[in-house]
Structure 1
């Protein structure tokens, strides 16, 4: 991250610590605006921090969006890190092939007893650290998005929150507090999802019924004239028409 962007990030962190969340969002956004677009990991950290601010302000839609932006940036960063790791590995293999040491004769017993020594290159260490950092920020962004979805409610958001918590439940390195939150949410969300689904389906059918009644009214009919009857043998449905049913 460039020095100016990093300075603004530090200012934003201080504002967040002082509970000045709106001001912190502005500073994080300023830092994002001047951060080079190819620094996906650094941008993901800023976006995740903005999501934390939105959560504090109970701006759940904005928190969901910025956390999602952070996760997308992390995916790009992870892909780049893996490509760099592969390139470093290929370069190391080429170097060994070009500069082969003289053959050294070692007895079979010595081969079995001697521990294998694997030394990480600087590039490999940097790649491993970056991958660890990506996992850490991904967990934070997922926790923030899951909480925002859970707080916002609705069938779609609650289902999304459950998926996020399921992903988090498979991740290592979560704090004890976060693990408790994940377990608790995975216990309570299924019932909330079912209730939200039934409510939204009921509202949808109500709107469709109103629409149908508006169309049928000029003909002296209503949706009450049509009844869905289940065939117990096949499990399918058929529609019966009741001409005597008066429109409401």
Structure 2
């Protein structure tokens, strides 16, 4: 009996221990349904968090794009402003160039000046002529003082005022402005002024002499000689023109010889370049000039370096 009594409590104890172990595990483990709900909740929270993150990222990207777009728009506005400023500068320069060109054309365009002066009375023309004379005297004083630029401007203003009918006065103004431009180094413009003065007054010796000197300074020796001859025709005692007529023919001849030598040298180089592939050179061809007619004849020489054969 004692053994049974002792065994019974052990069984009960084992059952009690098993029951305790079961409930202990039940406290730790969760029911499947509860775990599933929790997992779904976590997934939903995760998806919600991801969605929020994506929204924040998208919002950040939008802000960045908007910021970048604003910077690009600002850069475009600055570029447009610069282009507008450059276009405005170009228009101002064109207007200035156009105005300068118009002024230059007006001085030489007698037809235009006559049209403008058509409505002027004789008294008004006389008044404009007197104003131009005053400007001419002002320019002469500036010229004597060595102020070539201001003198050139005064002569130009005088030309704008001086009526076309006063052709001799205008010729003097053109000649005087040519002298000022000569000192300013504007030789081509000075030649144009002299030419206009001679057109207005073909017997204007000073303008002819000035243009001849300008032609000589710009290496236009043939034109210079022609003008010097015209000066002598009108004033045989003009020593500068006489000396030039004695000096220039020799200079022209020397220049022509030099040009001919340079041309022949270039032709020889070109000929050697063409003949070299054939084993020949320009030395194989002898050029002789007939002293009577001035014409040339060409002879072929087989061995140019051996004159005895």
What TM bracket, shorter-length normalisation? 0.5 to 0.7
- Relative to the length of structure 2, the TM-score reads 0.48
Match of 2:254 in 1: 195
Pick from 260, 265, 274: which aligns with 1:206?
265
| Alignment partners' CA distance in 1, 2:285 and 2:213 | 43
Q: Is the aligned partner of 1:163 residue 2:226?
A: yes
Unaligned runs of 5+ in 2: 1-124
Aligned to 1:180: 239
| Correspondent of 1:15 among 127, 139, 142 | 142
Rounded to whole Å, the distance in 2 between the matches of 1:234 and 1:164 is: 31
What CA distance in whole angstroms lies between the structure 2 residues aligned with 1:36 and 1:218? 70
Q: Distance in 2 between matches of 1:245 and 1:223?
A: 10
Superposed structure 1 runs of 4+ greater than 6 Å apart: none
The answer to whether the aligner puts 1:141 opposite 2:207 as a matched pair is yes
Larger relative contact order (CA 8 Å, sep ≥ 6): 1
- Output the CA distance in 1 between the equivalents of 2:270 and 2:296: 22
Correspondent of 2:218 among 147, 152, 163: 152
CA apart distance, 1:225 = 3.9
Matched with 1:32 is 159
SS where residue 234 of structure 2 aligns?
coil
- The structure carrying a bigger helix percent of its residues is 2
How many residues are matched? Answer: 178
- Give RMSD over aligned pairs: 3.2
Query: How far apart, in 2, do the equivalents of 1:200 and 1:232 lie?
Result: 21
1:235 deviates by 5.4
Task: Report what 1:47 is aligned to.
Answer: 174
Instruction: Evaluate the alpha carbon distance shift between residue 209 and residue 57 of structure 1 in structure 2; reply closer, same or farther with a 3 A threshold.
Output: farther
- TM-score, length-normalised on structure 1? 0.58
Classify 1:69/1:225 alpha carbon distance in 2 versus 1 (closer, same or farther; 3 Å): farther
TM-aligned CA deviation for residue 194 of structure 1: 1.8
How many angstroms does 1:231 deviate by? Answer: 5.1
Instruction: Judge conservation of contact 1:51–1:67 (CA < 8 Å) in 2.
Output: yes
The Cα shift of 1:8 comes to: 3.0
Question: 1:13 and 1:227, CA in 2 relative to 1: closer, same or farther beyond 3 A?
Answer: same
User: Using the alignment, how far apart are the partners of 1:7 and 1:225 within structure 2?
Assistant: 73
For the pair shown, the structure with the greater C-alpha radius of gyration is 2
CA distance in 2, matches of 1:182, 1:239: 43
